[in-house]
């Protein structure tokens, strides 16, 4: 049963990852970012997701240090994710990018480090670097982001270690059932970015009707759908009431019929780039 913000999923290597966290995509450095993270930690969030390209790792690091102290929790209780950007993919450059991210964050290790996009001809060398970091104990888990099935198959042909996580765009308009089935088959945890389709789904009539039935917001219905589908989710918010509201999804369960209705909204629509047709 998924019953609170600290509920975890166990990755293939035994590491426990919170099923729910805070994303900080497009949140600029500054007081707003720091306040949002500290507020989230105070209210029980235990997972923070950032990336080199977000250009906010220093602020995230500051917020984590201050937030841990204020919330009275240890670094070990927090799960921190960052990602290596496309221009840094390669063996040595990925190792260097990891150290840069770690320095900016002011941390001794990352819980999860991901390859941000499957740039053809580059991600295999980057993966070898992630394997090195993992073997050296510098990161607790390694994975990928935006990888489709053929990317995963290609990567795993030469990989010593399978990815533990695949973070993809995932919401009721883009259910990625085939990718999820492949990941489940290979012990790879699927994680959702843009779970609310950057707000585009908040006024969708079917979701609104389900929300009324459960006396919940449309965002809460979608995020609950993520969790019941076995998908880790990291909605972005900088507003206090949204940070609290997004996480208030542990006191109800969607029926099988409602889950199927949400699944049925799929149109393979993306708000982000298509990994197969992206000018990297």
Active site residue ranges: 54
**CB contact at 8 A, 235 and 22:** yes
**CB contact at 8 A, 222 and 195:** yes
Distance CA 175, CA 178 (A): 9
Burial class (CB in 10 A: 0-12, 13-18, 19+), 147: buried
Which whole-number Å values give the CA distances from 109 to 9, 79, 232, in the listed order? 20, 10, 21
In sequence order, what E strands does the chain have? 8-10, 16-18, 22-23, 47-49, 79-84, 110-115, 139-145, 165-169, 189-193, 232-233
Q: How many CB atoms lie within 10 A of CB 9?
A: 18
**CB contact at 8 A, 69 and 100:** no
Distance CA 191, CA 180 (A): 10
> Please, what is the end-to-end C-alpha distance for the chain in angstroms?
40
**CB contact at 8 A, 208 and 201:** no
């Amino acid at each position: 049963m998924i019953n609170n913000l600290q509920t975890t999923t166990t990755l293939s290597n035994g590491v426990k990852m919170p099923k729910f966290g805070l994303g900080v995509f497009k949140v600029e450095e500054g007081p707003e970012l720091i306040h949002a993270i500290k507020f989230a930690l105070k209210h029980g969030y235990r997972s923070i997701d950032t990336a080199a390209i977000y250009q906010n790792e220093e602020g995230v690091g500051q917020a984590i240090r201050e937030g841990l102290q204020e919330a009275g929790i240890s670094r070990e209780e927090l799960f921190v994710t960052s990602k290596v950007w496309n221009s840094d993919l390669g063996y040595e450059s990925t190792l260097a990018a990891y150290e840069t991210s770690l320095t900016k964050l002011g941390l001794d290790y990352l819980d999860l480090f991901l390859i941000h996009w499957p740039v053809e001809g580059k991600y295999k060398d980057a993966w070898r670097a992630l394997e090195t970091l993992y073997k050296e104990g510098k990161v607790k888990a390694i994975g990928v982001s935006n990888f489709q099935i053929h990317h995963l198959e290609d990567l795993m042909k030469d990989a010593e270690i399978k990815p533990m996580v695949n973070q993809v765009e995932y919401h009721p308009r883009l259910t990625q059932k085939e990718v999820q089935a492949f990941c489940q088959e290979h012990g790879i945890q699927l994680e959702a970015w843009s779970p609310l389709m950057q707000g585009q789904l908040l006024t969708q009539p079917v979701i609104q009707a389900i929300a009324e039935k459960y006396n919940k917001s449309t965002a809460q219905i979608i995020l609950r759908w993520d969790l019941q589908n076995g998908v880790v989710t990291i909605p972005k918010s900088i507003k206090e009431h949204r940070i609290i509201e997004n996480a208030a999804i542990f006191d109800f369960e969607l029926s099988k019929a409602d889950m199927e209705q949400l699944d049925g909204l799929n149109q393979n629509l993306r708000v982000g780039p298509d990994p197969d047709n992206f000018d990297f």
